[in-house]
Structure 1
Amino acid sequence: MSSLEPLATDSRRRQREDDGDDTSSPPARRQRLEDDTLVQDDTGAVVRDPVFYKDDGDCIIRVEDTLFRIHRHLLDYEDSAFRGLFSLPCGTEGTVEGQADTNPITLSGDTVEEIRAFFHYAYSSPLDLQYDDIPPDNTHRLINAVRFTHKYHLASFEKWAVNAISNICARQKSAILRKWPAEMYVSLLALHLLSPMPTVKTLIRTTWISRLRHKEPSVKLLYALNAVDALQYRELLGEVYYRQLLELTQPAQDVEATQAAPVLAPELTDVQKLRLLMGYRSLSLSWTRITATVPVLGGACSSRTHQLYCVAPWEDEWKRVVGVVVNASGRMDIIQRLHILRSVLAESECRHCPAVVDFIDNDLKVLTKKLLASLADHFLGPEAAPPAAQ
C-alpha cells in the first residue's frame, strides 16, 4: 500500500457495505481496524507522510491530515515541550498516545510544511548541516523549521536554524535578497521577533528600501506599508512612510464645487493618511528650521580676513543656494534637498573658506544622517521612553 493513499483498505470498505444494516459503530469516526490501517473520517483522508513515516519509528504524530512516525529522541531533549506530550495519559482503549495510527499525538496550529522542515534537518547527516553547504533556496524551509522549534522549545535546533539563515544572508548579502519576493522579507522579519537575527534585519531593511526607491515593479509600496505597519518595525516604518509620502506628488484635479478633491490615495487606511499628513507637516517645519537661519561657521578658518571675505559672502550665498535647492527639488523630499544643498555649496564661491568646507563635509552630512535615522519620529511621533526602573 502506498504511503500517500488513505489508510483504509478496499476489503474493509466492502465489508462495511455488506454490513450496511449494522449501526453499532459511530458514523463520525470508525475505530482502528488493523495496526497499520485507518479509515476515512468526516474530516477527510488521513495519510502517512511519504518520507517521515519510519518503519522503525517509536512515536506517531499527526499534523493536519498527515501522520509522521518518527524517533522520539529527536524531540524529547532539553526542556522540549514534547516531554509533557509524551507523558499524557492513555487513551480510552488503554493505548498510550503516540503509539498507534488511531491514537497519535495531535499537534494543533502547526502545518505539515513546518514539521517536515524540522525532520528534514533532524534526519540529515552532520555534513549536510554545515552552514556553508546549505543552499540559499533552503531559506523558506529553514524559516518553517525555526517556527516549529521555537514553538516547542527545541532551543539548540532553533539556534542552529537561525544561524543558518543568518549565514545565508551574510554570505549572499543583497544578491540573494534582491531575488526574494517581499513576502520573504515579511516572513524573516516576523521570525526576527521570535528569534533575533540583527544582521538579517539590517540587510532586509536596506535591500527593501533600495528596491522601493528604484520602483521595481515586483515590489509594491502599499504592500510594504501594510506589512511593516503590522510588524511595527519602527525604523523601517519611517522609511516606508517617507517613500509613500514622495508618491503623493499628483496635484489635486479640478472638481465640481460640491465634490472634494482626494488628497491621499483611497486604498490607505485612515491611520496611514493621518501619519502621512503628520509627517509632511513635521518634515516641512524641519526644512524651515534648517534653512531659515544662516548657519554659523566654525573656527576652521584662521584667515585674518575671515569675517570680510568668508562670513559676509557666506550669508548671501546661503540664501541663494537655498532658493536654488527649493526650485530644483520636490517639495516633499527633504532628504533630496539636503543632498542638493551639499552639492551646490560644494561648487559655490565660498568653498575657498575651510570653515565652509567643514560645514559641507561634516555638519550637513551629520544632519542628513540624523534626519534619516529619525524619520519614524516625524510620522509616528517621538518614541516613548522606557519605563523607569523601580
Structure 2
Amino acid sequence: MVQLYVFNPAPKLRLLSTLFFRGSKRILGSVSESTSPLSTQPRSQQCTPFIKAPIEAPRELVRDADYYADSRKGFCAFQVENTLFNVHQVLLSREPSAFGDMLCLPRLANSTEGSEETPVFLSDTVEQFRDFLWALYAPPNELFLETRIDRLLNVAELANKYCFASLEAWTIEHIYSLAKEPMASSLLHSASPDTCGRIIDVAILCNHLKLQELVTQHLISRTLWYNTQPEAILGIAEKHGLRTLIGVCYYRQLVNMERAPSRRDSRAAQTVFPQSINIDKSMRFLAAHRSLLSLWEHIRSLPPALSCEGCPSHVECELAWQLMWFQAGELDEVLRQGSADILGRMKALMLGLRKAMADAPSMTMQCKMAALEAITDMRDEVIEGLITHFMKPL
C-alpha cells in the first residue's frame, strides 16, 4: 500500500518571514545609527507623527426657510453646509436617480439616517441645492418663465450630478433657447466672461455641443470686435482646449501690444511686450507676428475666386473684381491698421470693396454677392487658423 505524505509549507513560511523581519530590523537600526551624528536636534524633535490642526467649532445648523417640512414620515433630511433641508421622498423618487437608489436601499429598524438628528450630508452649496429643489417643486409654467441664468445653471449641474436625466435635458435645452435669442434680449448680451465660461462648463458637462459652440462663437465675437479683454477669456479657452478661441485671445493680445509709430518717428509700428510675459511667449508672439505679415501679403496679392453660376458676363466680372481687390489693398484705411492686425485690415478691405462694387456697373448682382461671400469665407478661415501662427516652431 502506497503511503501519501502531505507537505504543509506554513511552518517554514512563518520561519522565513520571522528571519526576514529580524534582518530588516538590524539593517534599519544600523542605518539610523550611522546617520544620527548628522542631526543636531534631539530625537524627539526630528519627526512629528502628525500636526494638531486647530479644531473648528461646529457651526449651528439652521433649517431652510422654504424647503424644510416639519414632518418625518415620507421625508428625508439633508445637510448642505450648515443648512438642513427636509424633502418629500416622492419628489426625489419620481424618476430614476441617485436619490431614488439611495431611498430604495433597505435600512435597519432602528436606523435614524435621513432624519434631522442624522441627516444625509451633501457636498453642494446651499444656493445650488435650493435652486435644485425649486426646480423639483415648481409648477411647469414657473419653470418655463425662468430666465435667471445662475439658477438654471445650478439646476443643470445638480440634475447631472444626481442623474435626473429628464430635468437635466430640459434645463440645458432651456438655457440654449435663451442664449440663441436675438442679441438685444439674449442672456449672452449682458453675461460676464465668467458667466459665459460657466455656461461652457455646464454645456460640456451635459454634452450639449450646440450650446458650447454658440457661447464660444459669442466670446470670439466679443474678443475680436467689441474690445473685451482677452485675459478674461483665455482661461476659459485653455481650460477646455478651445483652439479657435485660444488663437483669437493670443491674436488680440498681440494686436494690443503693437504700438503705432509716433508723429516724430515714421518707422513701422513696434511690438512692446509687458514684463509679465516670459521669453518663450515673447518669441512665439514675434514668430506669429512674422507669420501674420506673410499671410497678409498672400491675401493682398491673391483675390479669392468668384463662384457664381448663371452670370452672363462672368469673365468681365472676374477682371473687375481683381482690379478692385488690388486697389482696395492699397487704401489708407487698410494700411492704417496695425501690421499684425490682419483681421482689422480685412475688415477695412471689405468696406472698401463694398463701396467700390456699389459704383461698379460692370459686375452683375450675382457676382457681387458671391464676392462678399468669398471675403466672409476667407475671414472665417483666417480666424479658425489663428492658433497655428502661435504654434509654429521657433
Alpha-carbon deviation of 1:212? 4.0
Q: CA contact under 8 A between 2:304 and 2:375: conserved in structure 1?
A: no
Alignment length, in residue pairs? Answer: 323
Aligned residue among 322, 329, 345 for 2:329 = 322
Structure 2 matches for 1:201-240, cutoff 5 A?
A: 201=212, 203-213=214-224, 215=226, 219-240=228-249
Aligned residue among 68, 93, 98 for 1:53 = 68
State the SS of the aligned residue for 2:259: coil
> How far apart in 2 are the matches of 1:269 and 1:52?
52
Structure 1 pair 277–192 and aligned structure 2 pair: CA distance change class (3 A)? farther
- Which residue number in structure 2 is paired with residue 119 of structure 1? 133
Q: Deviations over 1:144-201 (max 9, x none)?
A: 1111110111111112222332233344644343222222111111111112445544
Alpha-carbon deviation of 1:331? 1.3
- Which residue number in structure 1 is paired with residue 37 of structure 2? none
> How far apart in 2 are the matches of 1:94 and 1:165?
44
State the SS of the aligned residue for 1:106: strand
> How far apart in 1 are the matches of 2:98 and 2:254?
47
Flag the structure with larger Rg.
Answer: 2
Alpha-carbon deviation of 1:94? 4.5
> Which structure 2 segments of 5+ residues have no match?
1-54, 263-269
Structure 2 matches for 1:22-101, cutoff 5 A?
A: 42-56=57-71, 58-86=75-103, 94-98=110-114, 100-101=115-116
Identity among equivalent pairs (%):
25
Structure 1 pair 270–114 and aligned structure 2 pair: CA distance change class (3 A)? farther
Alpha-carbon deviation of 1:295? 6.7
Structure 2 matches for 1:195-344, cutoff 5 A?
A: 195-197=206-208, 200-201=211-212, 203-213=214-224, 215=226, 219-250=228-259, 263-267=272-276, 276-277=285-286, 279-293=288-302, 302=313, 311=319, 319-324=326-331, 327-344=335-352
TM-score (norm 1): 0.67
In the alignment, residue 97 of structure 1 is paired with which amino acid?
E
- Which residue number in structure 2 is paired with residue 140 of structure 1? 150
TM-score (norm 2): 0.66
Alpha-carbon deviation of 1:115? 0.9
Q: CA contact under 8 A between 1:61 and 1:104: conserved in structure 2?
A: yes
In the alignment, residue 185 of structure 1 is paired with which amino acid?
C
> How far apart in 2 are the matches of 1:279 and 1:375?
14
State the SS of the aligned residue for 1:69: strand
> Which structure 1 segments of 5+ residues have no match?
1-39, 254-260, 384-390
- Which residue number in structure 1 is paired with residue 160 of structure 2? 150
In the alignment, residue 234 of structure 1 is paired with which amino acid?
R
Q: CA contact under 8 A between 2:255 and 2:340: conserved in structure 1?
A: yes
Structure 1 pair 269–55 and aligned structure 2 pair: CA distance change class (3 A)? farther
- More displaced 10-residue stretch of structure 1: 237-246 or 291-300: 291-300
> How far apart in 1 are the matches of 2:271 and 2:347?
31
